[in-house]
């Protein structure tokens, strides 16, 4: 993180000319090795890919996080120079799909005017996207129009953040390239909707600025999550019962994540009328700016971790409005039972008596393929899709993924993808507690209860004594990776 000391001369003074935009473009060559979440002690085969980026202040290159994910070796080539230079990742926001990389050789940046950030654009403005899409090696530009600005799901992280939708073509290789209006960056090319033609998305300036401001102290904290679910209010009788004078105003709190900021100040059944001073409509949206609306979670994730926002609520049916203050000190990852995609980190696993255990994650669910939500067993997909807030007794889900057949686990070979609910009668709360219960247990027999009603009994001394033999037999170096 040594480069972060020079980051925040970013976007202060330089104004680039139209001719210098091309010179600020960079093609990125990534060699990567992804972790295998079905065989968590191994990795997939090395891959080569390419993406786009642009030079910004502080000798930094702005690109997508997914361009550099799981990288083992990075190279960059600037426009007009056939040479490749080794590059290094400085900071990453997988939530916002953004990354900053740099080159140690300062000659790489000689003669380049860094690009500046512009403003959040208006709909129907014309935009140009720069990058290096597949089909050629030269710089490519495509033109389009801003068609929509609202919060949308980022494919890389699954998080809903502000996006700019455009009708310019974005193809593989374009990822990380800037979208330009008036010689300034208004976004970073991110993803395309495959089910439709000419619908592409860029990461807008407010999200980019959030990333830069976040890492100003030398570490990345992420985007805050309040940790509540809500029901929309679209019925006049419902509004009348709670004394809401204006029809279709506010939302009702239905669930709160354990340990969340919302759980400190809200209760299920509260009617949330305003957030951060902005009125909430009955459909769960707030005004982004005049004539434009977006989801209310924008009012939370536009803030930094540690900041405080105000909420206006109605509690009970008295119609009296109350104002409460909520400190944003958690991310979505801190509050969910099944986390969204995990990157750049080896998967957690634990092997005991040839039995393989992992915490349930989206990465593991995706081992069922692109349509994992259809192919995986329903009791594994349900928590992620419908019931993902943590509770006091459930912080993570521990899965027995499969067996490495051995004498000690004979009879259990067919068991796989079952949730461990208890160890010797003690309910499982999270993965680290589960490993501790297994490691530090003193009973002769290890008794595991699963969600399907199965009981697994292992001879603890035999499992410990044969552990090295089982690991060697299956070519596994370590019996665990824990965080």
Catalytic residues: 66, 97, 175
Report residue 71 CA to chain centroid gap: 17
Q: Which helix (H) or strand (E) holds 151?
A: strand 140-153
> Do the bridges between strand 71-78 and strand 85-93 make them parallel or antiparallel, or are there none, so unpaired?
antiparallel
Q: In terms of residues, how long is the chain?
A: 483
Query: In b/e form, how buried is each residue of 311-349, taking b as 16+ CB within 10 angstroms?
Result: bbbbbeeeeeeeeeebebbbbbbbbbbbbbbbbeeebbb
Rounded Cα gap, residues 240 and 244, in angstroms: 6
Range 101-105 contact pairs with CB under 8 angstroms and sequence separation of 24 or more:
101/28, 101/53, 101/60, 101/61, 101/63, 101/68, 101/74, 101/76, 102/3, 102/59, 102/60, 102/61, 103/59, 103/61, 103/76
φ/ψ (deg, to 5) at 46: -60, 145
Q: Which helix (H) or strand (E) holds 236?
A: helix 236-241
Rounded Cα gap, residues 380 and 419, in angstroms: 8
Structure tokens at 145: 């129009």
Structure tokens at 397: 């889900």
């Amino acid at each position: 993180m040594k480069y972060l000391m020079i980051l925040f001369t970013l976007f202060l003074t330089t104004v680039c000319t139209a001719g210098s935009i091309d010179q600020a473009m960079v093609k990125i060559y990534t060699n990567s090795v992804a972790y295998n979440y079905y065989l968590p002690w191994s990795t997939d085969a090395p891959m080569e890919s390419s993406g786009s980026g642009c030079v910004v202040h502080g000798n930094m290159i702005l690109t997508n996080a997914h361009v550099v994910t799981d990288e083992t070796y990075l190279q960059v080539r600037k426009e007009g120079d056939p040479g490749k230079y080794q590059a290094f990742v400085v900071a990453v926001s997988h939530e916002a799909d953004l990354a900053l990389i740099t080159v140690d050789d300062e000659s790489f940046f000689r003669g380049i005017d860094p690009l500046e950030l512009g403003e959040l654009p208006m709909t129907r403005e014309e935009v140009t996207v720069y990058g290096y899409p597949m089909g050629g090696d030269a710089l490519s530009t495509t033109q389009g129009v801003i068609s929509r600005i609202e919060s949308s799901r980022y494919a890389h992280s699954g998080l809903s953040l502000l996006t700019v939708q455009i009708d310019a073509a974005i193809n593989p290789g374009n990822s990380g390239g800037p979208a330009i209006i008036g010689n300034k960056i208004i976004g970073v090319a991110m993803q395309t909707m495959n089910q439709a033609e000419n619908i592409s998305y860029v990461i807008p300036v407010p999200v980019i600025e959030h990333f830069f401001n976040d890492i100003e102290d030398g570490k990345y904290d992420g985007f805050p999550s309040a940790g509540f679910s809500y029901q929309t209010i679209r019925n006049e009788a419902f509004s009348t019962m709670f004394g809401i004078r204006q029809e279709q105003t506010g939302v009702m709190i239905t669930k709160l994540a354990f340990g969340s900021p919302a759980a400190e100040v809200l209760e299920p059944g509260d009617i949330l009328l305003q957030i951060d001073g902005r009125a909430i409509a009955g459909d769960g949206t707030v005004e982004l700016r005049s004539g434009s609306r977006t989801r209310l979670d924008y009012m939370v994730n536009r803030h930094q971790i540690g900041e405080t926002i105000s909420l206006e609520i109605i509690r009970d049916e008295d119609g009296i409005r109350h104002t409460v203050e909520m400190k944003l000190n958690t991310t979505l990852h801190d509050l969910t039972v099944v986390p969204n995609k995990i990157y750049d980190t080896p998967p957690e696993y634990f092997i005991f008596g040839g039995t393989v255990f992992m915490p349930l994650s989206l990465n593991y669910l995706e081992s069922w393929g692109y349509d994992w939500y259809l192919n995986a067993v329903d009791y594994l997909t349900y928590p992620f899709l419908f019931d993902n807030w943590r509770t006091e007794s459930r912080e993570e889900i521990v899965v027995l993924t499969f067996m490495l057949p051995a004498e000690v686990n004979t009879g259990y070979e067919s068991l796989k993808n079952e949730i461990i609910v208890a160890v010797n009668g003690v309910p499982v709360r999270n993965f680290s507690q589960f490993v501790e219960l297994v490691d530090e247990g003193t009973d002769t027999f290890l008794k595991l209860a699963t969600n399907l009603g199965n009981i697994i009994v292992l001879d603890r001394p035999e499992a410990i004594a044969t552990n090295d033999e089982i690991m060697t037999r299956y070519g596994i170096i370590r019996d665990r990776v824990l965080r």
